[in-house]
Chain A
């Protein structure tokens, strides 16, 4: 598997203990707020250290408590999209995108590729406060991809986007994953988003994975009442028409 995540972390209120794997696909971590989804991202990115466990991505061990490996975030080759994008407010779009790039000889070429891929022509010299939610997201994605990450982590990628363009962005993200062919992990607590995006759905509750599998399978065979409650509240469940 390309991604293997298994760790324990003591959080205030409950201990977190999760274990899951994924290939080069879109995996959605779904569950109520405070279930440990964002903490999982932070552990993969090296922004927090678990108590024990093992995290590997693309054959590279990021963290292994047994052999004492705990790579710093700088060495993890993770593309991380924060919920509100975390663009540097004092840098324009171009400077933001180039921020993590380490090879000055290739910088202009790679920048042009990203500007093309994310249709950012004409926005290069705009500052974050002059960009719309969708434009900010594209700049943040371009910045994350400039480092050629082995995995892309998207934390609530659509929460700051207008409802009217969410569908288009969902499709953009799906085709982006196909094009890049790397694991794309998405955190959301929006069921509609989870079901339309996910190749695999991983249901979190109170620091544990309570069910994992293709979205349809989980909806058809929820393992317990909690999962049933979490996925059963979706209004289009009966019709299975996920055309939003």
Chain B
């Protein structure tokens, strides 16, 4: 158990933090992409989607370039605070955020696009601002898709491996998530532990997929 609990704790912390950022940021991007036309829309869409098709290690590599101590964001951050994302659980959360964001944006964007345009226009005509219309019409009607997007993103964040390994390493008790611990256990010949960890991850993922499909249907 002593090998499982810390990994489970780190996994849940990383996945929950990433999911919170994904819920807020993903909903914003989904709304902007679904309801607005602007220059660079396709570029933004491609930038959000590309981590889905790139190997996670490549995403991790770019994140290190960005957030490493010598990185574009990492260097000034380190200079200011003496702290770096690399080899921390926060770094793992950033990696999970980038990798799982496209799932949330894709699913919730479709849900927002599926809201009847007449309902949005009648809301404006009844005096409601874009913001009010979003919260009172679009959000409730797209709720199923948005919840499914959040849940799927959580599942993806929970299972993240490659980018997390590149950015946060595999430090037991600090950055070693369930997925990373499975790899370590398997490499060191602890098949029993690997099996337990794999079953836990599988059980969580099945529960999450069940919830997502339930919400999508509703």
- Whether A82 contacts B140 by the Cβ 8 Å rule is no
B128 interface hit (Cβ, 8 Å)? yes
Give the complex CA separation of A82 and B126 in angstroms. Answer: 12
Chain B, residues 122-137, CB within 8 Å of chain A (1/0): the string is 1111111100000011
> Across the interface, do A82 and B122 meet the contact criterion of CB distance under 8 Å?
yes
Q: How far is the CA of A88 from the CA of B122 in the complex (A)?
A: 9
Residue pair A84, B125 in contact (C-beta under 8 Å): no
Given contacts A86-B119, A88-B119, contact A143 B124 (CB under 8 A): no
A166 at the interface (CB under 8 A from B): no
Check B125 against A80 for contact (C-beta < 8 Å).
Answer: yes
User: Across the interface, do A76 and B126 meet the contact criterion of CB distance under 8 Å?
Assistant: no
Residue of A nearest to B122 (CB): A86
A99 interface contact, C-beta 8 A? yes
A82-B118, A84-B118 in contact; A90/B124 too (CB < 8 A)?
no
Asked whether, in the complex, the Cβ of A74 is within 8 Å of the Cβ of B127, the reply is yes
A147 at the binding interface (Cβ < 8 Å): yes
Nearest CB in chain A to that of B129: its residue: A74
User: What bracket does the count of chain A residues touching chain B fall in?
Assistant: 20 to 34
Which of B116, B128, B140 meets A86, CB within 8 Å? B116
How many A-B pairs fall under 8 Å by CB?
A: 47
Min CB–CB distance B118 → chain A (angstroms) = 4
Q: Which of A72, A89, A90, A147 contacts B126 (CB 8 A)?
A: A147
For window 115-165 of B, CB contacts with A under 8 Å fall at 116, 118-119, 121-129, 136-137, 140-141
Which secondary structure dominates chain B's binding surface?
A: helix
**Which of B124, B128, B141 has most chain A Cβ within 10 Å?**
B124
The interface on chain B, measured as residues whose beta carbon lies within 8 A of the other chain's beta carbons, has a size of 16
A47 close to B124 (CB less than 8 A): yes
Chain A residues near B126: list those with CB within 8 A: 99-100, 143-144, 147
Our pick among A47, A100, A143 for the contact of B121 (Cβ within 8 Å) is A47
Would you call B141 and A73 a contact (CB within 8 A)? no
Interchain CB contact under 8 A, B141 and A89: yes
CA distance A82 to B128 in the complex (A): 17
- A102 contacts B by Cβ under 8 Å: yes
Residues of A within 8 A of B119 (CB): 86, 88
List A residues 10-33 near B (Cβ within 8 Å). Answer: none
Q: Are B122 and A80 in contact (CB under 8 A)?
A: yes
Q: How far is the CA of A80 from the CA of B127 in the complex (A)?
A: 12
Q: How far is the CA of A45 from the CA of B127 in the complex (A)?
A: 11
| Chain B residues whose C-beta falls within 8 Å of the C-beta of A74 in the assembled complex | 124-125, 127-129
Residues of B with C-beta under 8 A to A147: 126-127
Is residue A93 contacting chain B, with contact meaning CB distance below 8 A?
no
CB contacts (< 8 Å) of A3 on chain B: these are none
Cα–Cα, bound, A102→B128 (Å): 10
Q: Measured between C-beta atoms, what is the minimum distance from A75 to chain B in Å?
A: 8
Contact (A100, B127) CB under 8 Å given A88-B137, A90-B141: yes
Instruction: Give the contacts of A142-174 with B (CB-CB under 8 A).
Output: 143-144, 147
A139 at interface, CB cutoff 8 A: no
Q: Roughly how many angstroms separate A88 CA and B139 CA in the complex, as a whole number?
A: 12
Which residue from A72, A84, A99, A102 sits with its C-beta under 8 Å from B123? A99
Whether B121 lies near A73 (C-beta < 8 A) is yes
B121 closest partner in A (C-beta): A47
Residues from chain B with a CB closer than 8 A to the CB of A195 are none
A78 within 8 A of B: yes
Specify which chain A residues have a CB less than 8 angstroms from the CB of B118 in the assembled complex.
Answer: 82, 84, 86
1/0 per position for A69-106, CB-CB distance to B under 8 A?
Answer: 00011111010101010101110000000011010000
B residues within 8 A CB of A143? 126
What's the nearest-Cβ distance from chain A to residue B125, in Å?
5
**Bound-state Cα–Cα, A24 to B176, Å:** 74
Closest to A95 in B: B136
B125 and A73 contacting across the interface, CB-CB below 8 Å:
yes
Chain B residues near A (Cβ < 8 Å):
116, 118-119, 121-129, 136-137, 140-141
Residues of A whose CB lies within 8 Å of any CB of B are: 45-47, 72-76, 78, 80, 82, 84, 86, 88-90, 99-100, 102, 143-144, 147
17 A-B pairs with C-beta separation under 8 A:
A46-B124, A47-B125, A72-B124, A74-B125, A74-B127, A74-B129, A80-B125, A82-B118, A82-B122, A86-B121, A88-B119, A88-B123, A88-B137, A90-B141, A99-B136, A100-B127, A143-B126
